[in-house]
């Protein structure tokens, strides 16, 4: 049986592109979570009207564990940046994890361990929340990088994240 977690680390195109390459990830879907309105649109989320986070639903099997997923997540985005990732600015780009209640303490412990190791110069600001209602993003956001590899954003932002994935986690990916 698959498990699910929802990760927000900037633009959902980036997070989805990275995790689509990871062995054990059986399904990805970009969407919105953690806001205050039903059925938000991309435009509403981007304008900051809803307080949703751009997240990616990850379903994974037993060939990968939660700590491996978290290691990848904290490597490919900046968990110390409040309401932004690079040039993407707004609450929709905040670092957030939406998990099952029984996973919360393990994730919080993982973050505390990262902080104690001094890997990041600044404090980790990643939110850890219980799973909330997930709103699937519009069709054109799904598998965006595969469909638009020559897009300037993909070249400038997603490719470096994929290179970081390849160099740090080659044993966990398939090309």
11 is catalytic: yes
Going by the DSSP 8-state scheme, the letter that residue 153 receives in this structure is: H
Q: Which two tokens stand for residue 51?
A: 């307080």
SS3 state at 1: coil
Beta bridge mates, 30:
56
Q: Which of 145, 159, 108, 110 is nearest to 129 (CA)?
A: 108
Catalytic residue among 11, 14, 99, 154: 11
Is 128 exposed, middle or buried, given 0-12, 13-18 or 19+ CB atoms closer than 10 A?
A: middle
Q: Which residues are catalytic?
A: 11
């Amino acid at each position: 049986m698959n498990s699910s977690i929802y990760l927000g680390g900037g633009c959902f195109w980036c997070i989805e592109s990275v995790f689509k390459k990871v062995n054990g990830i059986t399904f990805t879907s970009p969407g919105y979570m953690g806001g205050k309105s039903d059925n938000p649109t991309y435009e509403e989320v981007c304008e900051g009207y809803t307080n949703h986070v751009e997240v990616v639903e990850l379903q994974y099997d037993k060939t990968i564990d939660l700590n491996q997923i978290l290691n990848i997540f904290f490597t490919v985005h900046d968990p110390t940046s409040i309401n932004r990732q690079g040039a993407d600015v707004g609450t929709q780009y905040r670092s957030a994890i939406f998990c099952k209640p029984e996973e919360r303490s393990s994730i919080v412990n993982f973050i505390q361990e990262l902080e104690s190791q001094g890997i990041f110069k600044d404090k980790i600001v990643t939110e850890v929340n219980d799973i909330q209602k997930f709103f699937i993003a519009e069709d054109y956001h799904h598998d965006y990088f595969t469909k638009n590899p020559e897009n300037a954003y993909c070249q400038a932002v997603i490719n470096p994240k994929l290179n970081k994935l390849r160099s740090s986690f080659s044993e966990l990916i398939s090309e």
